[in-house]
Amino acid sequence: MTADQVKLVQESFAKVAPISETAAVLFYDRLFEIAPSVRAMFPTDMTERHKKLMAMLATVVSGLGNLKSILPAASALATRHVSYGTKPEHYPVAGAALLWTLEKGLGDAWTSEVAGAWSAAYGTLSGFMISEAYGRPQAAE
């Protein structure tokens, strides 16, 4: 990721953070719409899951300028995801749901540059997490 991409991700996330609960609902609703089979991996009451998603995103976004600072947490998260039943093929689906959510949340502020920056951020981190969890890098967007 370039410094400009990091800045775009951080600035755009700052615009989404005030609507974090709505963004979390949008994300999971979209995820379950495009991948209904993953719904069983989640609790019925998603309230806590919504908070955890947005907190994790805030941590990752704030640490993008120093990726090494967030890699241990990303590694631990990847390992936990395996125990939940997450497979490598779930990562691109979650990425698509995330980008869709950001597009909806940002409206006119969702530009091709912002989309590219978020795609780069997600691709970098999901690729790392897949490698950590499964021991082999795989493409994820």
**CATH number of domain containing 45:** 1.10.490.10
Instruction: Determine, yes or no, domain membership for 127.
Output: yes
Does residue 120 belong to any structural domain of this protein? yes
Which residues lie below 8 Å from residue 41, measured CB to CB, with a gap of 6+? 84, 85, 86
- Domain residues for the domain of 55 are 3-134
What's the number of domains the chain is made of? Answer: 1
In the numeric block, which tokens belong to residue 76? 């631990």
pTM equals 0.90
**Signed CA dihedral, 124, 69, 63, 42: sign only:** positive
Instruction: Specify the pLDDT at position 135.
Output: 83
Q: Which helix (H) or strand (E) holds 118?
A: helix 112-134
Let me know: does 136 contact 125? Beta carbons within 8 Å. no
**Which residue ranges of the chain lie beneath pLDDT 50?**
138-141
